[in-house]
Structure 1
Amino acid sequence: MINSAQTKSTKLSLFDFKNISTRTFWITSIAFFMCFFSWFGIVPFMPDVVKDLGLTPEQKWNSIILAVSGTVFARLLIGKLCDKYGPRLCYTWLLMLGAIPVILCGLVQTPLQFLICRLFIGFIGASFVITQVHTSLMFAPNIVGTANATSAGWGNLGGGANRLGMPLIAAAVVSFGVADANAWRYSMIIAGVICFLMGIVYFFFTQDTPQGNFKELRASGEMISTKKDQIGFLTVLKDYRIWILFLVYAACFGIELTVYGTMDDYLQNTFQLQRVTAGNIVLSFALMNIFARTLGGFFGDKFGKLKGLRGRVLFLSFILTIQGIMLITFSTTTSIVVGFIFLILFSLSVQMAEGATFSVVPFINKKAIGSVSGIVGAGGNVGAFLAALLLKSRSAVAEQAAIVANEGLGTDVINAAQASASASAVSNGYFIIGFVVILTGILALTIRFSTEDENISNMEIKKASLKLVTN
């Protein structure tokens, strides 16, 4: 990889649009936002989809699992491609190709077609990896954690903003004479078209590094690409620290994804909230990405200045442990007021843990940032997949038992019993997941850096700080 430490931005100046690092930050954040907006765009319409396509409860749960499963493989692949071709081309193609299943989702006619589209739509979740690689290439070590966390957090907003944005798009198309029953289809098509157009913007208005694109830099000899300089993917896989961070990201982002997909029903079943009220609470959870993930990266950078690379790890372990405690406490409460307080605290800590994770990632292997980011990013989706499987299995068994036990007592009684059983099962699932998160936080303490890595990092931070003062 190119050594661009002298040209990376040492501060996050959000309105300095003449700065290529700032422009890239905004474009990659917006692209990531649109990918997440489209990835979870169908969530607000699931009741309509279930009715329109006749989905069974099993198929509904499978659609949630498939949506996060496809992303695992895409993230593993896209990280390696970023190291080879650069983030600019990778993002361009991901946005343009990823738009296809989003558009096709609005045209499906059968449950099978819907499930296939959900699987392939999940591929655009790999956009997170490219965003982290691109900001890592654009910002210096003293600010890279904050830049990574902010771009990721603002991009993650798309996963919650769609709860407000997609219904607005649907209302707009209905105002043009489209039938209510077909509004969700047009909304998905529009989201896909926007993603495609964003790919064109990415190609023409960004570049791979502050010095230029990979292709031109290699041609001019400014970017060395000899075998000696390259790091093999197998070598990357052998670094135990990557796999710990894989588990860490599974325990934070993976759980956030799972909560996005299950919290609406849980709040309705546990606290008897209306659908709109539960949706607004989950939306507020997502909106905390405006600042919460940034805080994780910010404190990661601060602890890095105080205690070196070890300081970043210590903060990551601390905030991940807090996240587990908050989830356990939330899962046991029966008061909506207390539950809301701990849900907000959980939201804050889980997003800070995500930011803290990627304040460590850029320092694991600087010659293979893409591969490292891809593997760690994939961990988030593996965590979501496993957590969804846990909640699905517990909920399905409990709901079926409730249906059998109340058979013949009327639809209302059966529905109430089923909702209560589901809430209890999901609550127990959250409780188990919380303990797993705490254990992962303790495991994070085993991440170590060599004395040489610590010295190089300290030197880079001092240089960046000096440059910041002189500017």
Structure 2
Amino acid sequence: MNNLADVGRGDQNRALWLSTLAFTVCFAVWTIFSIIGIQIKQDLGLNDTQFGLLVGTPILTGSLIRLLLGVWTDQYGGRIVYTAVMISAAIATWLLTYAYDYPTFLLAALGVGVAGGSFAVGIAYVSKWYPQGKQGTALGVFGAGNVGAAVTKFLAPFIMVAYGWKTVAMVWAAAIFVMGVVFWFATKDDPQLAARRKAGTKPDTLLTMIEPLRNVQVWRFSLYYFFVFGAFVALALWLPRYLIGVYGLDITTAGMIGAFYSVPASLFRIYGGVLSDRYGARRVMYWTFGVSVIACFILSYPPTEYVVHGIRGQMRFRLETGLVAFTVIVFILGFFMSLGKAAVYKHIPVYYPKHVGSVGGIVGLIGGLGGFILPILFGLMNDLTGIWQSCFMLLFAVVGLSLVWMHVSIRAMEKGVYGEELKKLPELPEMQEIHGPSQVGVLGPHIIEDWRPEDKEFWGTKGRAIARRNLIISIPALLLSFAVWMVWSVVVAKLPSIGFTYSTDQLFWLAALPGLSGATLRIFYSFMVPIFGGRLWTTVTTWSLVIPALGIGMAVQNPATPYWLFLGLALLCGFGGGDVI
């Protein structure tokens, strides 16, 4: 356990925010090939598989080195290890400018990857400054340093266009060097290391540090991180190349849209930590995998032309995800990946408080390997299938299998367990063998067990704040519901002006159907809140609005879209009308 009695809030904040800033710089360096790799690909004439290997090589180094760096952090403290990582990465990034052919670029990329090992260092260092009840939020804040990928995508293209890719490498090298110096002089040793030095206790040996890695549940648990982090890194590296190839964008525009994915996939990790502390890691993981399955399925659908042999002849229409729809869906995907990353790492300091570095290192290693393997597979599938969307087909398969595996494992764990005993089970089945009394309820949802709004004292001290929070959140949810419900009347009025040749009767039915379906759904929705609970049902129904909203955006792009598809979308807009209940 950490000795935090003498630790002030100022020291905690300094350790957290400087670690987060340092991780942001390290992540920007780690993903530098997502931008400069595009120019290097053109200069060397690489195919997509070679390009995938080039952008993935730094991820390989950063992943493999995490275990060792995590152990060193537990032994010698995060302050000195973090600084050494940044200085080493600065030297390697500067030397990158001397590479001249594909093998030397791969060698240089291995050195640049040292920056990615900073994650294991920061997780171990930050967790030792906070008690268990606040570690989820603290680690979520630190993990938001993933936004460094967005920094690279947003700034590097402009520098590269103006001065060349070598200047990007030099600027990034200088930035991480300066950050390393600032971190060393502005931070302190963590409380655990300070207490150990004061007592004259020697650090645990390497064999002791890696003892938890003999437990198979650590490796099984790590596989969740393969998707939520590995796929994030892979897409962060691959998206600029994808956007240029699919939508014909220039490097600066592709970089900015890529940043639009990286920002939510990074900053909302903070919110993921808060949600994990409040509602439980299992629920957050279900949200992550469930929404990711839907998003990856939509993005995996290649542009397709359909021919329907109808009564009056052939009807042709085309389904394609436009740039705006793609950007919105990728934003949603990034948001839920960020929640999952925080939910996974929340477990580590709870179950392995003395081995956060080594266990966090192996979890990060497995996740980072996803960031190395997936870009290579993306390029390979491009070369083999000739379909750009094949990368999302692969991600759909990965997240689908992860969701099924997690659900089946949870159901097997809960089999034959009822009542209060269910609350004593771990959030994820991988932790069942090491789950003890001290972990019961720590990671689970914190529900309201005492609610007495008629009691004036309770209402003034506690109830008012809870009710106000629920009200503030419910209002925008209802606003979105009404917006989707009513938007169809505006869309129908504008269809003739953009090339749709529907009759007045057909337009009337399109305008009337949302009202009909919304009124009907209210009958059924009125029974759902007592069954599933208002919070869960409001969440599910609000997310269901994504289906008609995206469907409308895609359908109106092509005047050949069949009438029956518009009828279906009109009925789905009724979801918004049913939400009023």
Structures share a fold, TM > 0.5? yes
For 1:279 and 1:450, the matched residues in 2 are separated by 44
Q: Are 2:6 and 1:25 aligned?
A: no
Question: Which residue among 223, 226, 229 is the counterpart of 1:247?
Answer: 223
Which stretch shows the higher mean deviation, 198-207 or 50-59?
50-59
Between 347-356 and 449-458, report the one with greater CA deviation: 449-458
* Aligned residue identity for 1:249: Y
Q: Which amino acid aligns with 2:148?
A: G
Which deviates further from its counterpart, 342-351 or 289-298? 289-298
Q: Superposed, which structure 2 residues align to 1:72-471 within 5 Å?
A: 72-153=63-144, 155-170=145-160, 180=163, 183-209=164-190, 211=191, 214=193, 216-221=194-199, 225=203, 232-273=208-249, 275-289=251-265, 291-303=267-279, 311-332=280-301, 334-336=320-322, 337-398=324-385, 421-442=386-407, 443=409, 445-447=428-430, 448=432, 450-454=435-439, 457=442
Q: Match of 1:406?
A: none
Find out whether 1:61 has 2:52 as its counterpart: yes
Structure 2 counterpart SS, 1:423: coil
Residue 395 of structure 2 aligns with an amino acid whose one-letter code is Y
**SS of the residue 1:166 aligns to:** helix
Alignment check: 8 A CA contact 1:246 1:376 kept = yes
For 2:269 and 2:300, how far apart are their aligned partners in 1?
A: 23
- Number of equivalent positions: 407
* Letter of the structure 1 residue corresponding to residue 399 of structure 2: G
- The 8 Å contact of residues 247 and 440 in structure 1, kept in 2 or not, is answered as no
Letter in 1 for 2:377: L
Report Cα offsets for 1:229-253 as digits up to 9, x if no partner. x982442112333223310111110
Structure 2 counterpart SS, 1:139 = coil
Determine what percentage of the aligned residue pairs are the same residue: 22
CA-to-aligned-CA distance 1:349-405 (integer Å, 9 cap, x gap): 11111111122221121111111110111111122233233323221223xxxxxxx
Deviation at 1:59, TM superposition (A): 3.0
Classify 1:272/1:450 alpha carbon distance in 2 versus 1 (closer, same or farther; 3 Å): same
- What is the rounded CA distance, in whole Å, between the counterparts of 1:218 and 1:437 in structure 2? 40
> 1:269: how far off?
3.9
Q: Unaligned 5+ residue runs, structure 2?
A: 303-319, 411-427, 447-460, 462-581
Structure 1 position 47, deviation (Å): 3.3
Larger Rg: 2
Counterpart-to-counterpart distance in 1, 2:300 and 2:366? 24
- The RMSD of aligned alpha carbons is 2.8
Query: Is contact 1:133-1:370 (8 Å) kept?
Result: yes
Secondary structure in 2 matching 1:208:
coil
Cα shift at 1:422? 3.4
Structure 2 letter corresponding to 1:387? L
1:160 alignment partner AA: A
* Contact kept in structure 2, 1:145 and 1:298, CA below 8 Å: yes
Per the TM alignment, residue 273 of structure 1 is displaced from its structure 2 partner at its CA by 4.8
Deviation at 1:432, TM superposition (A): 2.1
- Asked whether the 8 Å contact 2:90–2:177 carries over to 1, the reply is yes
Specify whether residues 383 and 272 from structure 1 end up closer, same or farther in structure 2 by C-alpha distance, changes over 3 A only. same
Contact 1:90–1:130 under 8 Å retained in 2:
yes
Pairwise CA distance, 1:94 = 0.6
TM-score by length of 2: 0.64
TM-score of the pair, normalised by structure 1: 0.78
Structure-1 separation of matches of 2:281 and 2:366: 19
Sort the Cα spacing of 1:113 and 1:224 in 2 relative to 1 into closer, same or farther, 3 A: closer
Question: Relative contact order (C-alpha < 8 Å, sep 6+): which is higher?
Answer: 1
8 Å contact from structure 1 (residues 87, 208) kept in 2:
yes
Q: Deviations over 1:218-270 (max 9, x none)?
A: 3321767578xx98244211233322331011111000111112223333444
Letter in 2 for 1:354: K
CA contact (8 A) 1:53 1:109 kept: no
Contact 2:233 2:371 in 1 (8 A): yes
Letter in 2 for 1:166: A
Which structure 1 segments of 5+ residues have no match?
A: 10-15, 175-179, 304-310, 399-420, 462-468
1:7–1:380 Cα change, 3 Å: farther
Query: How far apart, in 2, do the equivalents of 1:120 and 1:95 lie?
Result: 12
* Contact 2:48–2:380 (CA under 8 A) maintained in structure 1: no
Q: Sort the Cα spacing of 1:424 and 1:377 in 2 relative to 1 into closer, same or farther, 3 A.
A: closer
